Structure 1
Amino acid sequence: SFIRRYAFNMNKVVKREKGGSLHTKWRSSGHEGGCSWLIALNRKRESKISAGTSKTKRKKPKSKFSHVPDGAWYISKIADGHAQFCSSSARITSEFLEEQPGFRAAIVKGHSTSLPRVVNNMSFLQEFAKANAGSHVCCQLDDKGRFFRAFLSIGSVVSIQDALLPVWECDGTHMKGPMYNGIFAVAYVHKETVGNFAWFLANCIVAGLNLQDRPTFCDRGKQLGAQVVLAKVGLKVHLKFCSVHIRFNVMDTFKSLKLNMQSVKNDILALQDASTTAGFDHVASSIEGRYPTGISKIVADQLVEEQVFRYLRSIHPTDWCVVGYMQPTAEEKKWLADSWDPFSSHGDPLTLFGVRTTSAAEGENNGLLWKGVRNKLVLGSMMTYCARAIEVVQKRKV
């Protein structure tokens, strides 16, 4: 039980290939392309030398197992197979393994180390949901029974969403910003993928978060693909693009031009802040004149020149500019249709209350990183998030 649960936390599967009173063999395998290992344990037999034999015969022969008490378990074989890009120790010794608290807890009767170190994640999440009304939890395994991903939202936090700023921000844990009301939902996944983002956003909807009538800020990453997936099953999410990420993308796309980052930032924020079609066109015209030089690249086997102005014009105003956030007049609808007909928007016009970046989510992510969330197993990460959520709620007195 201990070994299986510990392996589950480490994203591995453990099978007991052989078992008995004197010999046990355990084999573990990670995800495809991961490391695997085998450990064989033997129990030392009791000595057959009787007390009535001669002193010479009663003397036990010296061997490498002489220090092992009769009836005790010892490691008879270790076989570890490292994946090509594994960065761990090349070869583990029996002596090193025997000193590990987890291993000692697995074979030493009454060893208490297993109690705080081993958890059953699914049971914990289920108990958490029972103890916290309105909370939503979801834990999934892969086809081999290994941990795959987990979701958690706290019901008491979700229940007050209508009293807070009606703008969502969505991001992975990589980044800063003070103006936020706290994280409402968190997921523990292996990487940022379209499937994981779709699963996460769908769980947010099931948890009661109102995504259908509020803007969700994000970078232009996997969330776009997730939006398409959710739309196929009738779930609507209104994505808005972070202005800071657009600046990052411009600087990266046109890095060969060695643009001034502060100048680019000011121009992008000015374009984002335009509240009228005339104001937008004026700022766009200024940007076109300020960055006349472009870069050449191959698109569909053709050499084309891309400029900063054209790059920004390829992003629909409804996705990131104030003029696109307001309900358009008939004149503005014509302006949008004439200028952005080839480009689709990723949501309806919605009020943003002055928000234009994902800095809040990034700021909270930064706080979680300082709490060591990346260095913990699943349960530890979830508990770190819960503690952080309590801190934010108490601080803001919501």
Structure 2
Amino acid sequence: MNRKQKQLSVFFAAFILTITTVFSGFTPKAEAAGDQLGIDAEAAILVDAETGKILYEKNSEVVLGVASMSKMMTEYLVLEAIKKGKLKWDQKVRINEYVHKLSGAPGLSNVGLTQGEEYTVKELYQAMAIHSGNAATVALAEALSGTEKNHIEKMNKKAAELGLKDYKFVNSSGLNNKDLLGRHPAGSPDEENVMSARSLAKLAYHLLNDYPEVLKTASMPSLKFRDGREYKNFNWMLPQLIYPYEGVDGLKTGSTDFAGFGFTATAKKNGQRVISIVMKADSKDSRFAETRKILDYGFNNFTKEELVKKNYQVKNKKTLPVTKGKEDKVKIHSKQAITMAVRNGEKDQYEPVLVLDKKKLNENGELTAPVKKGEEIGYLTIKSKKGEEINFLTEDAKKQVQVPVVAAENVEKANWFVLMMRGIGGFFGDLFGGITSTVKGWF
């Protein structure tokens, strides 16, 4: 092959790659996306960050190595402790001999930590979140829980609280235990943290929604540390780095020989935020290329839509009957709007569903006066007109597309005289009705 032919070959290869990237987002159906996206990774998932609705998944329940993406759990626990006042950002942490040696271990991601020197929680947190500092993570674990072993117990307990199903934490950093200089806080000497893509997505979902301030650090392209060095963020899809992608501002990468290359990304465009997970990709670069395909697919195919307006009234259920009130019915409506990411052009494929609180109703399906304006009497949710299940990460996430239904007006309780006259009227009405029926029976 001569030089000209080689140039043409390279040109056409680049052209095909570009076309593939551009059109990878335009997949007709989410259910078929696993085949048509052709994600070159062992597992992947894409979810709407606001509602937890699953937009795409591939092998999402397969348990795999999670590597440094497991540091998101330590991030969660640190931010939780900060909120509860159990840790402070300016709190000093003294570096012991083990953490110092781990920070200098060859081949591991670290910032230099000097034995006997004190670092603030904020410094260690930034080292962990930006440059995936393993020794910094251990230092935080010890500061938060006393020992890393205690911290592992907290990580597994919190995972259960957050509804993660497929997981096991054996250390705080995500390294293989064999790389911890002869120590392993839990598990076997050559074990490491494992999770499924769906569980990892749940962790990222809770981290973003419970502590959105996590993005302030995760979005920093580099860290200037006190050792005089500048450490780059391993999230190369941040706008300032190697593979920039509009809207990417987090979250965490991870890699070990066992886990391969993984990436938990989050990006926001046009008011819509998504979370994507790629697990066990072949290389540093490919995990970002596969993430780009998934993000393109999400933003090109799904739009955040208002499916139910605020103060919406369900057809044929605009009012509820009221007993013992000055009025015999009350108007009801939704307290808020319902919004959800839906496939382009399919907004009309969803319909509202009214669910009344049975505890509020008597055996005749009536509310009992007094009824106060704004009183919650049930909720409104949505369903697919085709009968297709709408998949969410958790039951709590599913509640994001449920809004309260409330009374739109006051209904005061009728006074004793009105109630008595109604009772008398009802008695004679029933009596007259009985007599009429009897007379009719004679003929």
TM-score, normalised with respect to structure 2: 0.24
Q: More helix by proportion, 1 or 2?
A: 1
